[in-house]
Structure 1
């Protein structure tokens, strides 16, 4: 039997409040609550009564991580509980975990130690079925495309230019490239395709950017699935698939409500990765939280060069969101990883701090403490922050929960201010947008497009898609597209491999370097440490 991980053991020992009590605290009316057992619920957005003035929004991001991450979600949850302990009406808005990292190397996305959202086993595994709905809609559309070609191909789809891929919420490198339709004419048209992990699928992005069910339906209808022999795009609307897709997503569009260990309401909805997707929880959940809380903490995946940039340039731009504060999570472990010693490693943190300032926001560094951190190392970071005019607060949320973030909460409240903005104007074209990100956020010297990317660029221009915002898929470990270039590299080249129009989501995905939209498992997957006993008690989750 696998020994219990401290995270899951702490979560299982906690006495949860009924979700109906959490909903009352969150000012969600009973008629809008759709319960999934005693501790989980969906919020029916059609039955909400919004309030007149929205609360303030705080974004939690981080420096470039180590492979194990730096505890952004843990810090966010502990900070939310610290604010609740101060008597504030606070809420958290986070992404749903993907089973890829849960079964892979990084683990779940429910925080850790005494700063968790619960029930952590449910949230980290099947939760309320949103990921399954996204996969069902994605794969239904793929089947309808193939069936249309098989049944006479009235739309004259060029099978060589079907761009819609199936998805699966598993890290499975064997599915990156597959051939379908083998076995003879009765089994379809043979063609090369592949799978995307559900978290990076376009329907996941659509779910997270939709304003309501009507907007979701419009976005689903605009999904580009293929091109005709004449080069014209074919959409889900053209296939008559939109209604079925919307029906599959009917419940998934409603945000999920759970709780932190400290009893703070937490909206957990949508789960796009930030290294290969746009990295933010749903706009709907954020708006619901803002309409029912005075201070809302939300997160964007990985560092400021990925999740935070996409938050400002995609989610906040589309949703009209203003950010009152930004917390940049740092650890001494990551500083050493990116520099060997603190003096060199702090250059990475400084770059992330400068990035946040470019969006008009004031960064606050949260130093997430580990037991291995020495007094001298902590003193070095405090001195660096003072000398560079950066607000910094230490926190010990894993070990102490909300009580370990009291100083962070105080400093945050003293540094709230409005006026955030996107970095670039997409009307200047996708090349200009990528150049701005490459030079100002990544500190690259130039951008280099592959022959395929240049062909993609011509297609974008032909169909008027080149003025959409850009979602750059890039390694999370470096400001460059080379994961081995740690620290704060400058003067490098950003290599753009492909440009993929996501016409439903409303952005262009730029694949850079060797990044893949279907990850693989490590040599020792986390799944090997997960177990369940005869009584149904799960162990090994983290």
Structure 2
């Protein structure tokens, strides 16, 4: 059966009763969205403040490939397995974006028998969080243009507006546009553009905010542009926009509760991409789960060089979260792809390609253990085409690296297939104090922070940028010097070339643009040819998604 067919046969329990049964949360603290989704009130979240935190486990992966790795699937499978062996566990996931759902990547609800449900709802509109983020973002854009049309009392320079518009869809035609055509009644003409919602600073702010007051204050700090001198910033608070924006997000800030196929609770909240944003679910969701459960399994987007680094250097640094261990997900197929094998040949045994591709896993593992300071278990997400010889070779290579390696069959068997992984993780996290090390010191210059990530994690020889970009970073360092950096880079490679597989070394990382996300509290560095508005592929997934007269959806994956 396909993932969606498995999900549609799930024996879901009403979420209100399930949350009461598992965690003793009364219905008055929940806002139900139908029978199987609910938001948890912030008042209840705040009531948990004095409770002891559980152990936080991060799931990350090798560099992504078209062969698939299964990070979300592993997160769900591990969470189900922890509950199966008698542990009290919750999974914290990101919300899927419609861009990948209708594009090429698909949804983000797991797969096989390790899924969160209702799968169709989660992958489509869910509880409306992304809609609220998009509207709040675009309200600010509308207020900027209206302010200039109405006399521009703040002296905003139309050439220096930093705030684009957003839409939750892959639409390359919107990357660069002209607005205000049609005469004086339609405002003024200027260049503009769209990013995808997951790249919005409002998304980043929602994911890092700790309360409604913090949310509103962060929204007010957004720099929308500059005056004609090019130095004096204009803030969202100058436009009196942050109150209305926060009002639009009043429900979006509440964590969303759903369940797995095995009726275990998962919190799905927030969803920035890790290749163009910071790639983690909300701080609120993670901290809430840590108060409710003894073990919390969370994921960070794409490979450990992107999502995991930002989880450590941005999310943990800002929130005080302290992970206990990392699961590094890999597949035999993906490693063979990194070894140079074409996608159509990955189901054939190829030990030399597997050995060559192992260098990608090795660098990620060493980054996690040496630069993040965390113990790491390698999880081989099992595919039916994997041969015993390939699995033996992979386990042998991991052993020589000093890595614990577990072959897990959660995709086919659910939580039962991941019990060995769960026991391995429990043994590690119960025997050490939680905590990690950051990749760079916050007192370094922004340039040096970027260079440290590139050389330490990516294996680069250094970074380059224009004099204009260097000057901009120096200027920002005067006021925002302690901000972490968020590198927007292809997820497919340690380099900025998506076709460079394995573990390249000695390459140069070119920084083509920098953006100040003052509300979120970090500086974005765009490395290489990176788009913050993706495009659809030649054959988008949308062509295969359909619905019948009974409302049954097909083709979603």
Compute the TM-score of the two structures, normalised by the length of structure 1. 0.97
Instruction: Give the secondary structure class of the aligned counterpart of 2:443.
Output: helix
Equivalent residue for 1:333?
333
Instruction: Give the secondary structure class of the aligned counterpart of 2:259.
Output: strand
Cα distance change of structure 1 residues 452 and 67 upon mapping to structure 2, 3 Å threshold: farther
Is contact 2:67–2:334 with CA below 8 Å preserved after alignment?
no
Is contact 2:6–2:112 with CA below 8 Å preserved after alignment?
yes
Q: Deviations over 1:234-292 (max 9, x none)?
A: 01100011110010000000000000111111000000000001000000000010010
Equivalent residue for 2:294?
294
Equivalent residue for 2:210?
211
Cα distance in 2 for partners of 1:27, 1:498 equals: 49
Is contact 1:450–1:495 with CA below 8 Å preserved after alignment?
no
Equivalent residue for 1:19?
15
1:454 aligns with 2:480: no
Instruction: Give the secondary structure class of the aligned counterpart of 2:470.
Output: helix
Is contact 1:77–1:116 with CA below 8 Å preserved after alignment?
yes
1:480 aligns with 2:476: no
Equivalent residue for 1:346?
358
Equivalent residue for 2:349?
none
1:408 aligns with 2:421: yes
Is contact 2:69–2:334 with CA below 8 Å preserved after alignment?
yes
Equivalent residue for 2:345?
none
Q: Deviations over 1:394-452 (max 9, x none)?
A: 11111111111011111111122322122112221101101110110001001001344
1:41 aligns with 2:43: no
Gaps of 5+ in 1: none
Equivalent residue for 1:94?
93
Equivalent residue for 1:386?
399
Equivalent residue for 2:166?
167
Cα distance in 1 for partners of 2:59, 2:168 equals: 25
Q: Deviations over 1:474-526 (max 9, x none)?
A: 00010011111110000000100011000000000000100100000111101
Cα distance in 2 for partners of 1:67, 1:22 equals: 36
Is contact 2:36–2:258 with CA below 8 Å preserved after alignment?
yes
Equivalent residue for 1:278?
278
Gaps of 5+ in 2: 341-352
Alpha-carbon deviation of 1:467? Answer: 3.1
Cα distance change of structure 1 residues 68 and 378 upon mapping to structure 2, 3 Å threshold: closer
Equivalent residue for 1:433?
449
Q: Deviations over 1:197-256 (max 9, x none)?
A: 001110000000001111001100001101011331101100011110010000000000
Alpha-carbon deviation of 1:465? Answer: 2.4
Instruction: Give the secondary structure class of the aligned counterpart of 1:427.
Output: coil
Equivalent residue for 2:258?
258
Is contact 2:67–2:333 with CA below 8 Å preserved after alignment?
no
Cα distance in 1 for partners of 2:218, 2:498 equals: 34
Q: Among 525, 532, 536, which residue is 2:551 paired with?
A: 536
Alpha-carbon deviation of 1:455? Answer: 4.5
- Residues paired across the two proteins, number: 537
Is contact 1:81–1:401 with CA below 8 Å preserved after alignment?
yes
Cα distance change of structure 1 residues 451 and 193 upon mapping to structure 2, 3 Å threshold: farther
Q: Deviations over 1:367-409 (max 9, x none)?
A: 0011111100000011111122101101111111111101111
Compute the TM-score of the two structures, normalised by the length of structure 2. 0.95
Cα distance in 2 for partners of 1:367, 1:451 equals: 45
Is contact 1:465–1:501 with CA below 8 Å preserved after alignment?
no
Cα distance in 2 for partners of 1:530, 1:52 equals: 44
Equivalent residue for 2:367?
355
Equivalent residue for 1:179?
178
Instruction: Give the secondary structure class of the aligned counterpart of 2:279.
Output: coil
1:115 aligns with 2:90: no
Cα distance in 2 for partners of 1:461, 1:77 equals: 40
The root-mean-square deviation of aligned C-alpha atoms, in Å, is 1.1
Q: Deviations over 1:512-541 (max 9, x none)?
A: 100100000111101111000000000111
Alpha-carbon deviation of 1:360? Answer: 1.0
